Structure 1
Amino acid sequence: FMFTPQLGWTLVTCLLIAVMLVPGTIRIGQQFARRVLEVETRRAEDRARDQVRRELVAWVSHDLRTPLAGIRAMAEALEDEVVSEPDEVSEYGARISKETARLGGMVDDLFELSLINSGALHLVPEPLPLDALAREAATGLGPLAAARQVGLEVRVDPLVCRGSGKEVERVVHNLLINAVRHTSAGETVSVAGGRDGGSVWLSVTDGCGGIPASDLPKVFDVGFRGTAARSPEAEPLGAGAGLGLAIARGLITAQAGELDVHNVPGGCCFRLSLPAA
């Protein structure tokens, strides 16, 4: 084997070509890897959306059927004159009206949840006094708390977040009414707040006795209602369809915030955070 000048130039040329091609090959490999990651991410998002759709279909088939069946049964009883006494007729009419309102609430919640899950919910953030929203919600729920013999205290320093007023107010109200309804008589619901870096947070701590560890990951799932272990007198939030907390988290997430829950001694703590103004 002889090393000739021509062979040397050939080797040098090959080396130069390799040096020029390697960065391009690396870039192509990186682009391919990013493309694969994007495809997998989209597939995961599609699977998540499909799961949500299946959950919504299951919810519709079960929860909407119940009030409809009740309305139909009472309407047939009136039509067939099974009940004819004026007081009974009036009672049936009131119950039909109540069930109709509950059904309407379920449909409204379902529509809002579909907007959240599809990304079609567009909110306009503005500076909001989060502490004032908490105090207003607590004041409005004072009579309910008193009737249930539940204490309600708010200790929040002035906090200004960026969010959509109507939606943030609704979430705070939902968290508070949920806490009051699940807290045993003689216990207290506490509201606190503060600032953490570029975010402000608000926490609602109840005296529900805690959420079973197996239920904690499901609290914000569509249709989740919890178990009797949380409260002996647990009442469903809103329309009673197990959508309240799913909507609450969706509304906060849509505003670049977070909503989580964890157990504390004697109860649980819901904590929301939003960008500081």
Structure 2
Amino acid sequence: MTDTLLIGLYALIAGAVVAVGGAAALRTLRRRSILAHIVVLLTVTVLAVVAGVTTVAKAMFLSGHDLRVVLLTVCAAAVVSLATGVVFGRRLAASAVWAQQARERERRLEAGRRELVAWVSHDLRTPLAGMRAMAEALEDGIVADPRGVAEYHRRIRVETDQMTRLVDDLFELSRINAGALRLVPTTVPLREVVSDAIAGVAPLAAGKKISLVAAETGWPTVRGGERELARVVTNLLINSVRYTPADGTVHIDAGRGRDGVWLTVSDTCGGIPEGDLDRVFDIAFRGERARTPGTGGGGGLGLAIVRGLVEAHGGHVGVRNTGGGCRFEVLLPA
């Protein structure tokens, strides 16, 4: 019993010495990755076992041959242990990175939702207040001449249309985010979709004296939801027209490449700040120029809807600055 206690004491002391060194190493590496910590822990464990075995073997006067056999066995087990630890450490590190990215993404989405609620409340409250004032003026007879009454009716209709578009955007975005969007794929000729979109955006462009130019040839067909693709093109055109100064140009083109069907909308808006390029498609992001009343910035949902609809088709949408403007690029599967 005394020999057993001594052997245990020798092994404990040897392991404690190694553990102190391992604790110092961990303190030095406290800012390193999880994988580094796991490797250090496994190495300390193996070294503690080796130190304990060596100390006990010396105390028991084992032969050199027996000691080598024991150490070789421990080293073989150590190699397997370290390899397994590295594999699981990498998985754990990857999981930690993914969890961190998920938390960051959730924080961005939550911030976007809060900003969306604030902007939508503003965008609804402003026209509602104007409509209420005009309705009260008509009701009280303050405006009685036919021309004034007709103008008030026109402005009420315009404000109603604006709120209707905002509500439609909210509904479309909620369907995308909830996974309730159901595409009805058909063979869609992009030329017809673009022609209809240009016709719809033409009054807005004419008010700013902006030219809408479409390529003459090279228009492909694509398999997808016609209504959804029409909304993608319309939202991109409206966004470019809103941010392009008067007398500017918006050019739209499409074609078929090796990776699929592509569609581009280029404008002369002057470019997007580099810090905003990654946020253009975020919910409720409208840029500094759209944060004042009367700029027609919308609810900041148009490009978010574009990204959702394009991704629902298995495609990708991006934006980059060009000389004097920016180019929105949509890539759809062939």
Range into which the TM-score falls when normalised by the shorter chain: 0.7 to 0.9
Alignment correspondent of 1:198: 259
Alignment correspondent of 2:168: 108
- Pick which of 63-72 and 173-182 moved more: 173-182
Q: Does the Cα contact within 8 Å between 1:153 and 1:188 map onto a contact in 2?
A: no
Alignment correspondent of 1:224: 286
In the alignment, structure 1 residue 54 sits paired with structure 2 residue 76: no
C-alpha distance in 2 between matches for 1:264 and 1:13? 65
Aligned pairs for 1:174-185 (under 5 A) are: 174-179=235-240, 182=244, 184-185=246-247
C-alpha distance in 1 between matches for 2:181 and 2:249? 35
Q: Deviations over 1:101-150 (max 9, x none)?
A: 22122112122223334554343555433344334434666677678473
Structure number with greater Rg is 2
Q: What is the DSSP-based 3-state SS (H/G/I as helix, E as strand, rest coil) of the residue aligned with 1:46?
A: helix
Alignment correspondent of 1:76: 136
Deviation at 1:253, TM superposition (A): 2.9
In the alignment, structure 1 residue 170 sits paired with structure 2 residue 231: yes
The one-letter code sitting in structure 1 at the alignment partner of 2:306 is: A
- Pick which of 60-69 and 187-196 moved more: 187-196
Q: What is the DSSP-based 3-state SS (H/G/I as helix, E as strand, rest coil) of the residue aligned with 2:215?
A: strand
Q: Does the Cα contact within 8 Å between 1:216 and 1:261 map onto a contact in 2?
A: no
C-alpha distance in 2 between matches for 1:260 and 1:134? 19
Q: What is the DSSP-based 3-state SS (H/G/I as helix, E as strand, rest coil) of the residue aligned with 1:271?
A: strand
Deviation at 1:153, TM superposition (A): 3.4
The one-letter code sitting in structure 2 at the alignment partner of 1:153 is: A
In the alignment, structure 1 residue 262 sits paired with structure 2 residue 323: no
Aligned pairs for 1:1-277 (under 5 A) are: 1=58, 2-4=61-63, 5-138=65-198, 148=209, 150=211, 152-179=213-240, 182=244, 184-185=246-247, 188-208=249-269, 210-213=270-273, 217=277, 218-221=279-282, 222-224=284-286, 227=289, 236=296, 240-276=298-334
Q: What is the DSSP-based 3-state SS (H/G/I as helix, E as strand, rest coil) of the residue aligned with 2:118?
A: helix
The one-letter code sitting in structure 1 at the alignment partner of 2:215 is: V
C-alpha distance in 1 between matches for 2:325 and 2:190? 23
- Pick which of 76-85 and 50-59 moved more: 76-85
Q: What is the DSSP-based 3-state SS (H/G/I as helix, E as strand, rest coil) of the residue aligned with 2:319?
A: strand
Alignment correspondent of 2:20: none
Deviation at 1:35, TM superposition (A): 2.6
In structure 1, the gaps of 5 or more residues are 229-233
Deviation at 1:26, TM superposition (A): 2.6
Instruction: Report the number of matched residues.
Output: 267
C-alpha distance in 2 between matches for 1:158 and 1:96? 40
C-alpha distance in 1 between matches for 2:131 and 2:203? 31
Q: Does the Cα contact within 8 Å between 1:176 and 1:204 map onto a contact in 2?
A: yes
Q: Deviations over 1:82-115 (max 9, x none)?
A: 2234443343233223322221221121222233
* TM-score scaled by length of structure 2: 0.66
Q: Does the Cα contact within 8 Å between 2:198 and 2:212 map onto a contact in 1?
A: no
Q: Does the Cα contact within 8 Å between 2:280 and 2:303 map onto a contact in 1?
A: yes
In structure 2, the gaps of 5 or more residues are 1-57
Q: Does the Cα contact within 8 Å between 1:130 and 1:158 map onto a contact in 2?
A: yes
Alignment correspondent of 2:48: none
C-alpha distance in 1 between matches for 2:202 and 2:147? 33
Q: Does the Cα contact within 8 Å between 2:237 and 2:265 map onto a contact in 1?
A: yes
Deviation at 1:36, TM superposition (A): 1.4
Q: Does the Cα contact within 8 Å between 2:271 and 2:324 map onto a contact in 1?
A: no
Q: What is the DSSP-based 3-state SS (H/G/I as helix, E as strand, rest coil) of the residue aligned with 1:155?
A: coil
Between 1 and 2, higher relative CO (CA 8 Å, sep ≥ 6) is seen in 1
Change (3 A) 1:124 1:268: same
> What percentage of aligned pairs have identical amino acids?
44
Change (3 A) 1:54 1:255: same
C-alpha distance in 1 between matches for 2:155 and 2:280? 30
C-alpha distance in 2 between matches for 1:38 and 1:113? 26
* TM-score scaled by length of structure 1: 0.78
Deviation at 1:67, TM superposition (A): 0.7
The one-letter code sitting in structure 2 at the alignment partner of 1:195 is: R
Deviation at 1:174, TM superposition (A): 3.0
